[in-house]
Chains A and B, each alone.
Chain A
Amino acid sequence: DTEVTQTPKHLVMGMTNKKSLKCEQHMGHRAMYWYKQKAKKPPELMFVYSYEKLSINESVPSRFSPECPNSSLLNLHLHALQPEDSALYLCASSQEFASGVSNTEAFFGQGTRLTVV
C-alpha cells in the first residue's frame, strides 16, 4: 500500500474561518511533508516532520499551523487565510531520509484544493 490519504478533497473557506486539512499514511514512514502548489507550478515545501517532530519550517506564515499527532497523521490548521493562499495543498510521506537509505522516494496524496474567499 503506497497510499497517502488527504481530506477534504475540496475546501472553500472565508478569511475569518478556521479549518484543518488532514493527511494519513500507513506505510510506516517517519517523514511527512506539507507542500503548496499553484497551478502548473512545482510544489513548494512548507513543513517537514521527522519522527513526529517539526524539522523544517520554510518561513511559512503563522496562519498555517502544522501538527503531527502520531506517526501516521499530519494536520495543517488554517486560520485567517488570504485569497492568495488559494492553492492545491499536498501531503507527502517517505522513509527517513538518512544517508544510505535507498527507499527515499516521497509518496504524495491527491491534495486538497483550497479556495479562500
Chain B
Amino acid sequence: AQSVAQPEDQVNVAEGNPLTVKCTYSVSGNPYLFWYVQYPNRGLQFLLKYITGDNLVKGSYGFEAEFNKSQTSFHLKKPSALVSDSALYFCAVRDMGSSNTGKLIFGQGTTLQVKP
C-alpha cells in the first residue's frame, strides 16, 4: 500500500535558524514526490517536486528537499527560517507505476512555527 508519513505534528524553530520538515514514503513503483504549503484558510501552494535526476531539489521561497532512495525519505529544508514560513506543510506522493491514477497521497501534515 502506498503511504506517506510525516512523523512530527509540529516543528518549532527560531527565525534565522535552519529548518527541516521530515517525510518518508512507501510506494510500489517510482515515486513522484511533492511538498505543498498551506496558510490559514487558503488552498495548497506547490513548493517543489522530485521526479528524477538530482537528489537535491530546489523550490519556491528558498526551500529545498533531499530525496534519499535508500531511506525512502524526502525531507524539506531551508537554510534560514522566516516568521512568514509559519504554516502547515504537506508531503505527498504520486505512484507512477501500474496503479497510476493521478491520485496524490498526502502525509498528515506538519505545522511549522517560526518564532522571532
Contact = CB atoms under 8 A, between A and B. Distances in A.
Interface in A4-46: 4, 6, 31, 33, 40-43, 45
Given A104-B32, A108-B45, A42 B109 contact: yes
A99 B101 contact: no
B108 interface: yes
Given A105-B34, A106-B46, A42 B102 contact: no
Contact of B96 (A41, A99, A105): A99
Given A42-B90, A45-B104, A48-B101, A90 B34 contact: no
A interface residue count range (under 10 / 10 to 19 / 20 to 34 / 35 or more): 20 to 34
Contacts of A109: 43
A48 B102 CA distance: 8
A99 B95 CA distance: 10
B interface residue count range (under 10 / 10 to 19 / 20 to 34 / 35 or more): 20 to 34
A9 to B, nearest CB: 9
Main secondary structure on B side of the interface with A: loop
B43 A111 contact: yes
Interface string A85-104: 00010101010111100101
A106 B104 contact: yes
A110 interface: yes
A50 B102 contact: yes
A111 B90 contact: no
Given A50-B102, A94-B102, A105 B44 contact: no
15 contacts: A4-B43, A40-B109, A40-B111, A42-B108, A48-B103, A50-B102, A55-B101, A90-B44, A97-B101, A104-B32, A104-B51, A105-B34, A107-B46, A111-B42, A113-B41
